[in-house]
Amino acid sequence: MTIYNAPIEDIKFVTEDLLDFYSHYQKYPDYQEATPELVDMVITECAKFSEIELAPLNQSGDKEGCQWLDGSVTTPKGFKEAYRKYIDGGWQGISHPIEYDGQGLPPSIGLIRTEMIGTANWSWSMYPGLSLGAMNTLIKHGDEYQKKTYLTKLTQGEWSGTMCLTEAQCGSDLGLIRTRAELADNGSYEITGSKIFISAGDHDLTENIIHIVLARLPDAPKGSRGISLFLVPKVLVNEDSSLGEANSVSCGSIEEKMGIKGSSTVVLNFDNARGYLIGEKNKGLEYMFTYMNTARIGIAIQGVCNSELAYQISLPYAKDRLSMRSLSGKKFPDQVADPIIVHPDVRKMLLMQKSFSEGGRAMIYFAGKMIDELDQSKDEETRKHIDDKLGFLTPILKGFLTEVGFESTNNGLGFWRPRLHQGMGA
């Protein structure tokens, strides 16, 4: 079983001593409730939830994986119960608007939550993580009806969300998408097409899933300029906000992949599914960047999570595993050999893991501070300046932190391997 200990002291060092979050919060009227006492309570309680509820499901969830049967996905044992505790605790909407049932705390606090739950169990964290992008997209581009009807349920965590971009014939070149949308008599749209690699695309954690889908209208310009964005629920919603009949959205299969097997990545088929236009026609790619930037920050956090967990597993093993003697003489003469932590190369790998996890955390939280500023700034010129800085920083965070996260994990495997062969690995 994976053991995770939330690095609370390291988190507090970055937020309090390095970036001075509390003075930063007090500059904005909307963040006055983010006092040191409240933030400390949030960090402490989220740490408990991550350590007690999520970490024990990490290894078992990966071993069991998600199961696909007759178009439906079942998540591993314990995932559904943990998710219910998560939404009962109000964790999903911690940094989203109060008017849509959020708690209105700064986005930077939401990043701290995401790091802890992600390190404890990345597979599980992808379900609420994908919803965050859908929530941010609706906040920025949805109309008031969409916010009241769909955003509120997403913020509560009662429903979840997905990002539906990729198709079999196109990956990053979204101008090649073929999914089409046709206007229906009632003002909605009929969405037809298939999307692949859809994370959290189907599961049993929530009673409804809100798909944010890129599709093309019949009269749209060719290429990326002719893409619109649609909200397509798995289950249709009645006028009184109750759930109605199932929409024409089906899960065609579940992807086979290495790692994070507790997270469902699926093929989704839309067969004249009812959808609703988000924003204006042919501006879908512009709107989707709100979702994609949320996902990019999330992937950057994954790199930090990998480094942190790799270090937490590697360090006690390096102190326990015996092999040869230190180059400078016996360190533990009463034992048959010294623990491998005395060897320079092992120490180098451990320090690299520690440096990348702590440095990566500082980079993420620095970006979080800018997201707070963007959220609160009223001056358009200031907002553009902050947005440009974030636009520059985000791909660096995603590219660099995932690269070093992989390197940290890979180096950890170098000296975990004997234990893995014995069936005791993480």
Query: Domain coordinates of the chain in residue numbers?
Result: 8-66+75-156, 159-282, 287-421
In this predicted structure, the answer to whether residue 328 has a pLDDT above a threshold of 70 is yes
Which has more confidence, 424 or 83?
83
Model pTM score: 0.93
Phi-psi sector, 152: left (phi>0), alpha (psi -120 to 50), beta: alpha
CA–CA distances in Å: residue 208 to residues 176, 232, 235, 278, 312: 29, 11, 6, 19, 36
pLDDT in tens, 375-408: 999 999 999 999 899 989 999 999 999 999 999 9
Would you give the end-to-end CA distance of the chain in angstroms?
Answer: 6
In this predicted structure, the answer to whether residue 111 has a pLDDT above a threshold of 50 is yes
In this predicted structure, the answer to whether residue 303 has a pLDDT above a threshold of 90 is yes
CATH of domain 159-282: 2.40.110.20
The whole-number pLDDT of residue 1 equals: 65
| Contact in structure between 227 and 178 (CB atoms under 8 Å) | no
In this predicted structure, the answer to whether residue 312 has a pLDDT above a threshold of 90 is yes
Q: What is the CATH superfamily name and number for domain 287-421?
A: Butyryl-CoA Dehydrogenase, subunit A, domain 3 (1.20.140.10)
The whole-number pLDDT of residue 418 equals: 44
| Contact in structure between 405 and 305 (CB atoms under 8 Å) | yes
Pick the closest to residue 161 from 196, 135, 141 (CA basis). 135
The whole-number pLDDT of residue 426 equals: 33
pLDDT in tens, 127-141: 999 999 999 999 999
Q: Does domain 8-66+75-156 have CATH number 1.10.357.10?
A: no
The whole-number pLDDT of residue 292 equals: 81
Which residues in 286-301 are b (16+ Cβ under 10 Å) and which e?
Answer: ebbebbbbbbbbbbbb
Which has more confidence, 258 or 408?
408
Q: Percentage of the chain surpassing pLDDT 70? A: 97
The whole-number pLDDT of residue 415 equals: 58
Q: What share of the chain is helix, strand, coil (3-state, %, to 5)?
A: 55, 15, 30
In this predicted structure, the answer to whether residue 104 has a pLDDT above a threshold of 80 is yes
Pick the closest to residue 153 from 242, 268, 34, 252 (CA basis). 242
76 CB-near residues (< 8 Å, 6+ apart): 57, 60, 61, 64, 65, 66, 262
For residue 197, which phi and psi values (nearest 5 degrees)?
Answer: 60, 40
Which has more confidence, 62 or 424?
62
The whole-number pLDDT of residue 423 equals: 38
| Contact in structure between 10 and 358 (CB atoms under 8 Å) | yes
